[in-house]
Amino acid sequence: MATTQATNIHQTFTSKKRFEVTFFSIVIFLLLPNLLTPLRLNTDSIRYLKIVEYLAGNLDKNSDAVHDFLPHGYPQFLLTLGKLQLLGPLTITFVNITSILLACYLLTIILEIENRLIFIGLVMISFINVKQFTLPIADQLFTLLFLAGIYLWTQAFKKQWLYMIPALAVTLLSLYVRTAGIALVIGVLLYLIYSNKYKLLNNKKLLIIPLVLIVIGFGAFIFNLHFIEKKVAYIAQLNLGLMIHQPASILGRLAIHFKELGEILINIPHSKLSSIVNPAIAGYLLIIAGILLCLIFYKAIIKLQLFNTLSFWVFMVYLMMIFLWPFYDARFLTPIVPVLVYSLFYYFTVMFKPRYIRYGYALMFLLLGFVSLAYSDALSVSNSFFLKHYGFDPSLTDKYRIHFNNQEKNMVNSQQYDIHNNDILFLLEKYDRKPLIIKADIHAEN
């Protein structure tokens, strides 16, 4: 009897492991065609590549790239790839996919996540990641640095002081890639206060000092806000003065970010959902879904006691920064998508009992995720599909059409376009190429 029971347990374990490996393998297999994508450009990727041109000495000090407030960490990374003749859509996509894979793996260590391959696969088919994998933007590399910072600081606080130096280095590097890396710094400080709360409560002098410093610092920040906004572009973008003078504007910011969170829960962007249901209804549905995701996240935090971990404090700081941000763009949630997906994964597999709702939600998330992957694959391997569906600006489509025609005729040459007057075609002709294939125009520049 005992032997039969042991055999059944082994068979169940083997079956689950086989399913886990199969699911993860399918996800990776469907990701691979994206390595063949043309260079995908959007507003921010154009800005990053223009900064690369400036750093390479190809733009003068009067160009927009000189005054762009985006940190130079990611453009420096792209510039290095360019010097190695590796800068192209294949390398960009490979780096982005690898970054999220490694970031998810680090989170499985930090939070001791079981069924790792299923969890990682679910994160990889989140439409936010699928959409960003092929873009030359900093978010996914930043996500890796962000999670690496959390991991290294977590190890350092376990009295493994050798991790302190790499933790500091990665934190500084994350700040150099994206200003939002400050969430690591603030999260670490809050965790230190929380983890020493009993010492602080038992020693009023120790308690008063940080409280006074926080009050003075906050007061000085508010008093000098106008001056700080002139010096720090990121603070200026936050437009905190509007929140102070018009508190009702806070509701607008909450609404747009609940929509973004709702997109993660349903695994579909607002633009696509609006094509299925009435656009006005779609907005409200996403807000409700976003609030629901926050409740699920809260329940998972309590059940897993995440508030005792450094990761909780860093994620909370980052989420608060998101809610302060006055613009709608779900990609800024990329660094916390893994922990949000894990919260969903944990809630629906451990805490939520109604089986049909649980399976129904899982089926919806998977179906929409695989549809996103298939759509991205089609964009990657078919120029005609790309021209028909990529972007919403007809002028952008026209420039891609010219570029594809140049490729077919083997007439690709960025020197025929002026980056000041025709930036998109210049960038496409220069950077939409295979790694290690040196074009004639590259020789001409050298």
Closest-CA residue to 285 (of 299, 300, 272, 298): 272
**Percentages helix, strand, coil for the chain, rounded to the nearest 5?**
80, 0, 20
Q: Are 255 and 287 in contact (CB under 8 A)?
A: yes
Indicate whether 380 pLDDT > 60.
Answer: yes
Q: What is the pLDDT of residue 8?
A: 46
Q: What is the mean pLDDT of residues 306-327?
A: 93
Q: What is the mean pLDDT of residues 222-235?
A: 71
**pLDDT band of 1, cuts 50, 70, 90:** very low
User: CA 200 to CA 115: how far, in whole Å?
Assistant: 39
**pLDDT band of 4, cuts 50, 70, 90:** very low
Going 155 to 161 to 166 to 169, the CA torsion angle's sign is: positive
Give residue limits of the domains in the chain: 2-36+88-381
pLDDT above 90: percentage of residues in the chain: 62
User: CA 422 to CA 387: how far, in whole Å?
Assistant: 19
* C-alpha of 406 from chain center: 33
Indicate whether 203 pLDDT > 80.
Answer: no
Report helix, strand or coil for 294. Answer: helix
Closest-CA residue to 263 (of 356, 350, 328, 358): 328
Q: Are 97 and 132 in contact (CB under 8 A)?
A: no
Q: How far is CA 307 from CA 187, 195, 298, 340, in A?
A: 12, 10, 10, 15
Going 93 to 408 to 437 to 445, the CA torsion angle's sign is: negative
SS (H, E, C) 208-223: HHHHHHHHHHHHHHHH
Indicate whether 85 pLDDT > 70.
Answer: yes
Q: What is the mean pLDDT of residues 76-83?
A: 96
Residue 124, C-beta contacts closer than 8 angstroms, at least 6 positions apart: 27, 28, 31, 97, 100, 101, 104, 130
Q: What is the pLDDT of residue 2?
A: 44
Q: 354-361 long-range CB contacts below 8 Å, 24 or more apart? A: none
Exposed / middle / buried, residue 28 (Cβ in 10 Å: 0-12, 13-18, 19+): middle
Q: What is the pLDDT of residue 107?
A: 97
Q: 391-444 pLDDT, tens per residue?
A: 767 888 999 999 999 888 887 776 778 888 888 999 999 999 766 544 434 333
Indicate whether 271 pLDDT > 60.
Answer: yes
H or E stretch at 253: helix 249-266
Residue 386, C-beta contacts closer than 8 angstroms, at least 6 positions apart: 38, 379, 380, 400
Indicate whether 40 pLDDT > 80.
Answer: yes
Q: What is the mean pLDDT of residues 100-124?
A: 96
Q: 318-372 pLDDT, tens per residue?
A: 999 999 888 888 999 999 999 999 999 999 988 888 888 889 999 999 999 999 9
58 versus 51: the higher-pLDDT residue is: 51
Q: What is the mean pLDDT of residues 270-287?
A: 91
**What mean pLDDT is reported for the chain?**
88
Q: Are 318 and 83 in contact (CB under 8 A)?
A: no
Distance between start and end Cα atoms, the chain: 77
Q: What is the pLDDT of residue 201?
A: 76
Q: 145-173 pLDDT, tens per residue?
A: 999 999 999 999 988 888 999 999 999 99
**pLDDT band of 61, cuts 50, 70, 90:** confident
